[in-house]
Amino acid sequence: MAPAAWRRKPISAGTTWRSGTARRWQDRPRPCGPSSASANAVAPWSPRGVTDPPVPPTIRTSSLPSPAKSPGVPMSSMIVGPTLDHHDDDTVVDLFLRQAAERPDAPAVSHLGRTLSYRDLDALSARLARRMLDAGVGPGDLTPFVLSTGLEIPIAMLATMRIGAPFVPMDACWPAARLDQVLNAMRPKLALVRAGTEQPLPTAVLDIDLTGPDDNGRPAGIDRLPGLDDLIYGFYTSGSTGTPKCALNIHRGLRNRFAYMSQRFGDTPDDVVLQNSPHVFDSSVWQMLWPLTKGAQVVIPDRSGVVDLQDVVATIERHAVTMTDFVPSVFNVLVELLAAQPPMVRQLRSMRHLLIGGEEMLAGPVQTFRRLLPQVRITNTYGPTEASIGMVFHEVRDVDAERIPIGLPIANTCLAILGADLRPVDRGEVGDLWIGGECIGAGYLDDPERTNLAFADNHLPELPTGRLYRTGDRAVIGADGLVGFRGRTDDQVKVNGMRVEIGEIEAVLRDCPGLSDARAAVYADPAGRNCLAGFVTGRDPIEPASVLDHARRALPAGLVPSRIIQVETMPLNQNGKLDRNQLAALAAEYHHTAAGEGGDPVAAAVQAAWNRLVPGGPEGDFFAAGGDSLTAVRLTLQINEALGTSLTVQDLVAAPTVAALTERIAAGPAAGEDPEEELPAAVADTLFVDTVLADDVRPVGEPVTTCDHVFLTGATGFIGTHLLHGLLRHTDGVVHCLVRAEDAASALDRIHDSLLFYHLDATELDRVVPVVGDLGLPRFGLGDDEWDRLASTIDVVVHNGAMVNLVLGYQSHRAANVLGTAEVLRLAVSKRHKPLHHISSLSMLEATPGRTESAPTQLPPATNGYSLSKWAAERLVEEAAGRGLAVAVYRLGEVMPHSVTGVPSPKSLPDLIVRWNVRLGLAFRSSIALDYTPIDQVTTLVTAGVRTGARGWFHLAQAEPIRLDDLLSEFAAEFDLEPVSYRDFWLRLREQALSDRLDDDLAGLLAMLPAAGPDVPDQLLEESLTDLFGAAGTGCSRSRSLSLLAEAGIRPAGADAGVLRRYTAHYRRVRRAARHAEYAVG
């Protein structure tokens, strides 16, 4: 029998956690473990101070877990973890308050350039706690916080704990239906939200104030500190009935987990922990709170919804992060990235510990990472949300080459592997994994049935625990005594690190009109990743896109199936039950099946590549199915490899379905688009509608003649950042910048970072007002009050914002470039008549020498998506001008690096060409010619127009284009580049992409360059290169622009040798900085 201190009495099954009432555990039997109050415990810390140092936790004599003895089982499949004495009854919030008293000025939490000290965090959480108390929230009241990321999260966690209110994290990006569902079920007294949030919620809200503490510091008498047996938090997990369930945990379990981590990984304050898990995953709790119990620092990254591993690595380097967490699916991609880009390995030199959990870990990527970064200790962590984050750990070893065990139970926990008779199985036999000990949570909110199914009184006297939790996982204890994971026993699966109940997905799908039944299954894609597929039945043909749209409105992104497959009937097994294995096989077969009937090798190759790579399956449009630029390049590369063709992404844009692309390939490389070809009827119809300006967009009164308040769109791009700098430098006005961001602080950070990136002065940000919005939304997504305030305040509008993608079609550009311009025009005429300065492009013009600086043609001269969108936008501007709006339109040529700093736009085609020539050590020769207009000339022209009230159309381009050969020769001389043909350069790019080194940078370049495979004739290739940058700006009139510049005292200079040398000098500085960084590391 285990020590008495380890024993835990069974918990009464009759007590249920219910919403809307105070929930405390004081009337319940105490959980197992040595943490119960004892005579040798130090008195808990209070805000008045600490009289004696706390006694550190100690491991008892059983320093390693050991197998329990079970009657009749020679080698029992039960393991009891070591015993860890905590010496006190301190909770996590007690430990934080101690650190706040001892290390008030130490950095506690950092996010997007702002760092809160322990004193700041103490004061801000105390102030929020006081406001919660004043609003009626008290001990035991479950309190959700609806946030996306930011400093508000730890403040909310600490504030709720300080008054004994359990917190429940929710994502502000969840669909409204899901938020309504869980909040209505919980019925909280209020929800905590970010200040300024206008998101409608079905409950009262309290905003989290991030302004600095006032002179009074933190309010006194606010703490209602919880006990170890009180609830600490609840996390919503996927529910098998279609309803999410809230798993509740208590302070004792988290305190035990943190104490063990401090004993295992170190109790010193020198750690910097990156919160790498979304805050709605329970693993984020240790990343956010454990460091705060030992005086360490937490780094909260910015989250855009997309995992940007390069940004994660940069964040780790920037903050010298020592510890973080990954789910295996993301970790595996990180390892691929590190292997492909070895210099990135050095960016992780600060790392000491890496925890991995949430899915089964693959040995190959882990061992590769260990070879790349041998100083980093990797720990496999296991445990369900119902058990205080996790309670089985294993440090990866060299011998873990085939399969990595999940390990052994941590201190004060235990586990058993049981058979169908609920008795331990033989050692080495696979069974059901049950866990117990101080990790065990309190069940599910308002759900006694599911609580009683998952939690049971302990019937095994060898295990020192009052209750056991049925994990639903299959496991085995190997010959080495370590526990190994062997899959699931139910329909709960892991996809992208997220635990998913199939039933919840099926419940949503069944609500879609027109379906008779809906089921879901998990299948493995060609890369071995788990993916979700939805299977539907119905009397009529079902459109998969409509089902997916329905799912996206009700489910988080991670729960939306990647494809919908219609079947005649659902497959059944021999027992007459749904055969999910057969569904998974159907999904995998559907994913891999290539058409190939009729012996057509072209169709077979296209179909095979499409099935491997396109997420939405072989039917429908590539882009509608979720295809992105990386996938587009991979798809064309694989088809080219199979058929010896030279497809480009432009071919995929023109023919975005399997049938159309097959037909295009069969037509041969010479069958390019006819320049006289008419627009597709659908695009022409859309253009006709889009170029009709709403009748109520009409200016009233005379235009404003001051520029005290300027509204600028697109302020964080290459042109927009320089325009902002020019407006701040050449006017005394305040610039209101429309920026996509989470909040105003994040928007200002983006603006600041953009100025510094382009080597521009960022000291006048006190004259910048960020406007958080989106150009592609009606009224930019602003509320009525914000829109009216903006319309009443600003004097002039500079509209620069636009989507620029030279590959995608008109529909992709329409929202930002055309509909966004319509909203800009509406703002310009609202409240007062504000002059509009509109940034456009010479690419929308016909290549006609002498083209005058005048309004756009009646019919679109261009057919590519970007140019069409700029033509449509100009048509709207022209219509507004015809109604009396004061308008100036600036058509720009190829905007190039600043003539003084030499800093280019990293996303521009010219700089991509330069960058990849330098990277590959090549300089290709070609007939390519391009305009070269330094960005500072653009800034001068537009700011002069704003200051002088210019009206009409203006062209800005050089009198003569430059040869790309001349530009590359400057770089060849500087970096000793090898002269090659364009075909050789393109083949080297393709080789780079095929070697799994394809990133967004390379994908963007390959998407825009003409293919140069062996099947492309020299003459056709030469024509494609000649037309690469177009000729719309060649010989066009620019007299009005020159006159405006002359009035500003500027005479535009051409791209002389000095300008080009400053461009190469920028690259020289970048390379030197990289070498210095390597030297510092080495």
Number of continuous H segments (helices) and E segments (strands) in the chain:
33, 43
Q: How far apart are CA 940 and CA 956, in angstroms?
A: 11
Phi/psi of residue 382, each to 5°?
Answer: -135, 145
Mean pLDDT value of segment 1025-1029:
82
Instruction: Give the residue-averaged pLDDT of 319-327.
Output: 95
Q: Is the pLDDT of residue 585 over 70?
A: yes
Angstrom distance (rounded) from CA 536 to CA 510: 8
| Closest C-alpha among 189, 147, 154 to residue 169 | 147
CA atoms of 993 and 1010, how far apart (whole Å): 15
Place of tokens 């072209």: 602
Domains of the chain (ranges; CATH) run 110-226 (3.40.50.980), 496-577 (3.30.300.30), 597-672 (1.10.1200.10), 902-930+962-1028+1053-1082 (no CATH)
Contacts of 994 (CB under 8 A, 6+ apart): 637, 641
- The rounded percent of the chain whose pLDDT value lies above 90 is 47
Each residue's pLDDT tens digit, 388-402 = 998 999 999 999 988
Strand partners, 519: 535
Distance spanning both ends of the chain, measured CA to CA:
55
Tokens of 25: 């555990």
pLDDT (0 to 100) of residue 918: 93
d(CA 374, CA 443): 40
Of 813, 853, 816, 871, the residue nearest 688 (C-alpha): 871
Sign of CA dihedral 684, 689, 690, 693: positive
> What does the alpha-carbon distance between residue 667 and residue 179 come to, in Å, rounded to a whole number?
52
Indicate the angle between helix axes 784-793 and 820-829, nearest 10 degrees: 60
Which residue is it, tokens 């329409």?
814
User: Which of 557-566, 859-868, 919-928 holds the top average pLDDT?
Assistant: 919-928
Q: Are 632 and 649 in contact (CB under 8 A)?
A: yes
Alpha helices in 617-743 (DSSP H): 629-643, 649-654, 658-667, 681-690, 718-730
Alpha helices in 534-593 (DSSP H): 544-554, 580-592
pLDDT on residue 996: 58
Contacts of 379 (CB under 8 A, 6+ apart): 353, 354, 355, 356, 393, 394, 395, 396
Please list the residues that pair with 394 across neighbouring strands: 380
- What confidence score (pLDDT) does residue 863 get? 65
Strands (E), 368-516: 377-382, 392-395, 408-409, 413-418, 431-437, 443-444, 455-457, 467-477, 483-488, 492-495, 498-501
- Which has more pLDDT, 724 or 1014? 724
Alpha-carbon Rg of the chain, whole angstroms? Answer: 32
Chain-centroid distance of CA 195 in Å reads 22
Residue 276 pLDDT grade (very low, low, confident, very high; cuts 50, 70, 90): very high
Percent pLDDT > 70 in the chain is 83
Report DSSP state, residue 977.
Answer: P
Position 529 scores a pLDDT of: 64
Q: 34-50 pLDDT, tens per residue?
A: 333 322 222 222 222 22
Q: Is residue 599 very low, low, confident or very high in pLDDT (cuts 50, 70, 90)?
A: low
Q: Provide CB contacts within 8 A for 642, sequence distance 6+.
A: 605, 608, 609
pLDDT 10s digits, 644-689: 887 877 788 778 888 888 888 887 754 344 444 556 676 777 788 8
pLDDT for residue 3 is more than 60: no
The mean of the pLDDT values for the chain is 83
Q: Is residue 30 pLDDT above 60, yes or no?
A: no
Residues 727-754: tens digit of each pLDDT: 999 999 999 999 988 788 888 989 998 9
Q: Residue range 933-941: average pLDDT?
A: 91
Buried b (16+ CB within 10 A) or exposed e, 480-491: eebbbbbeeeeb
Helix (H) or strand (E) holding 888: strand 887-892
DSSP labels for 358-386?
SSPPPHHHHHHHHHH-TTPEEEEEE--GG
Residue of higher predicted confidence among 861 and 993? 993
Helix (H, G, I), strand (E, B) or coil at 59: strand
Give the 3-state secondary structure of residue 846: coil
| 444-458 pLDDT tens trace | 999 999 999 999 999
Residue 264, CA distances (Å) to 245, 257, 268, 395, 644 in order:
32, 10, 11, 11, 56
3-state DSSP percent of the chain in helix, strand and coil, to 5: 40, 20, 45
Q: Which of 458, 555, 471, 467 lies closest to 512, judged by CA?
A: 555
**What span, in angstroms and rounded, lies between the C-alpha atoms of 841 and 845?**
8
Whole-angstrom Cα distance, residue 296 to residue 106?
Answer: 8
Is the pLDDT reported for residue 491 higher than 80? Answer: no
Q: How crowded is residue 597: how many other Cβ atoms within 10 Å of its Cβ?
A: 9
Which tens digit of pLDDT belongs to each residue from 524-580?
766 566 788 899 988 788 888 788 888 877 777 667 887 888 887 788 765 555 788
Adjacency order of strands within the sheet including 563-566: 517-524, 530-537, 563-566
For residue 18, what pLDDT is reported?
A: 52
In angstroms, rounded to a whole number, what is the distance separating the alpha carbons of residues 109 and 259? 20
Least confident of 206-210, 618-622, 641-645, 978-982: 618-622
User: Which pTM was predicted?
Assistant: 0.52
Q: What is the dihedral of CA 455, 458, 463, 468, to 10 degrees?
A: 0
Task: Let me know the angle formed at the C-alpha of 450 by 431 and 387, rounded to the nearest 5 degrees.
Answer: 60
Beta-carbon count within 10 A of 1070 CB: 13
pLDDT (tens digit per residue) in 52-89: 333 334 434 333 455 554 333 334 799 999 999 988 89
- Classify strands 377-382 and 353-357 as parallel, antiparallel or unpaired: parallel
State mean pLDDT over 822-839.
96
The pLDDT of residue 1080: 38
Give the model confidence (pLDDT) of 679-703 as tens digits. 667 677 778 888 899 999 999 999 9
Cα–Cα distance measured from residue 442 to residue 231, given in angstroms and rounded to the nearest whole number: 8
Does the structure show a pLDDT above 80 at 503? no
User: What's the mean pLDDT in 960-985?
Assistant: 92
Helix (H) or strand (E) segment spanning residue 1075: helix 1057-1081
Say if CB 1033 and CB 1017 are below 8 A apart: no
Residue of higher predicted confidence among 274 and 613 = 274
Q: How far apart are CA 435 and CA 421, in angstroms?
A: 16
Residue 931: φ, ψ to 5°: -70, 155
Instruction: State the average pLDDT over residues 121-127.
Output: 96
Please report where in the chains the tokens 């989250």 appear, as a residue. 303
Residue 339 has a pLDDT of 83
Are 250 and 231 in contact, with CB atoms under 8 Å apart? yes
